[in-house]
Amino acid sequence: MGFLISLEGPDGCGKSTQIGYMKDFFANEGYEVVVAREPGGTKISEKIRDILLDTDNMDMDYRAEMFLYAAARAQLVHEVIKPALDAGKVVIMDRFVDSSAVYQGIARGLGVDTVYEINDIGLNGVAIDLTIHLDLPPDVGLSRKKSQHEMDRMELNGDDFHSKVAEGYRELAAKFPERIVTIDATKSVEEVRDDILEVIKRML
Ligand code: TYD
């Protein structure tokens, strides 16, 4: 069996940059690495992503939103994650089921347990070995995003929503301390990279 690592945090916490470093680290150590982002990562999941992030869909029901994220994830598990783990590869996820637990479960208020229960069906037995939580005050992340591109449907949620997300990740990390490691993402890119790699080396 392979190894599944997820990277989580509020919008604009710097996940993509760090995923590049993580990928290089594992490749240099001789592992086969697969990287995927959520929502997306397969043809079908990318179509669901378009529906989820489209600013035309501001009236989407929170429950419909939860199921769409779960559906995109189920397809990714089926097509990419499970086959890679079965082949002994390292899978690095840019967001995974904890994003749903925080955004839909806590920030939308649908409940963390409900969200995990719904998603369990699509995970089909896949379990996360390690989750890196990049902790950042919400205003910092969002202003980074605003300067990069036009805001998508999720980013357009108000400051209150994004505060709940940032707080929600802290709650979740406290709930699963053996799996989720929190890293201060206000530090420099290089410092965050070193902190993450230290956690990974300890795990291996
Ligand atoms: P994306 O552009 O990928 O954001 P980021 O670069 O911050 O990862 O957009 C994904 C958005 O969807 C982001 O606002 C988080 C949200 N999201 C959920 O609400 N639930 C989920 O299960 C996932 C995976 C993402």
Closest CA to 125 of 168, 82, 156: 82
Give the pLDDT band of residue 149 (cuts 50, 70, 90): confident
pLDDT > 90 in the chain, percent: 86
Indicate whether residue 169 lines ligand 1 (CB < 6 A): no
Closest CA to 27 of 95, 81, 89, 87: 89
The reply to whether omega before 39 is within 30° of 0 (cis) is: yes
Residue nearest ligand 1's atom 23 by CA: 99
> In whole angstroms, what is the distance from residue 131 CA to residue 95 CA?
9
C-alpha 125 to ligand 1 mean position (Å): 23
Name beta bridge partners: 198: none
pTM score: 0.96
* 12 or 121, greater pLDDT: 121
Query: Domain 3-203: which topology?
Result: Rossmann fold (3.40.50)
Query: At which residue do the structure tokens 């929170």 appear?
Result: 62
Q: Express each pLDDT in 154-202 by its tens digit.
A: 989 988 999 999 999 999 999 999 999 999 999 999 999 999 999 999 9
Q: Which residues of 23-48 are buried (b: 16+ CB within 10 A; e: fewer)?
A: bebbeeeeeebbbbbbbbbbebbeeb
Residue nearest ligand 1's atom 10 by CA: 39
* pLDDT of residue 150 exceeding 90: no
C-alpha 1 to ligand 1 mean position (Å): 28
* Domain edges within the chain: 3-203
Indicate whether residue 100 lines ligand 1 (CB < 6 A): yes
Q: Express each pLDDT in 65-107 by its tens digit.
A: 999 999 999 999 999 999 999 999 999 999 999 999 999 999 9
Residue nearest ligand 1's atom 4 by CA: 11
Give the pLDDT band of residue 204 (cuts 50, 70, 90): confident
Indicate whether residue 103 lines ligand 1 (CB < 6 A): yes
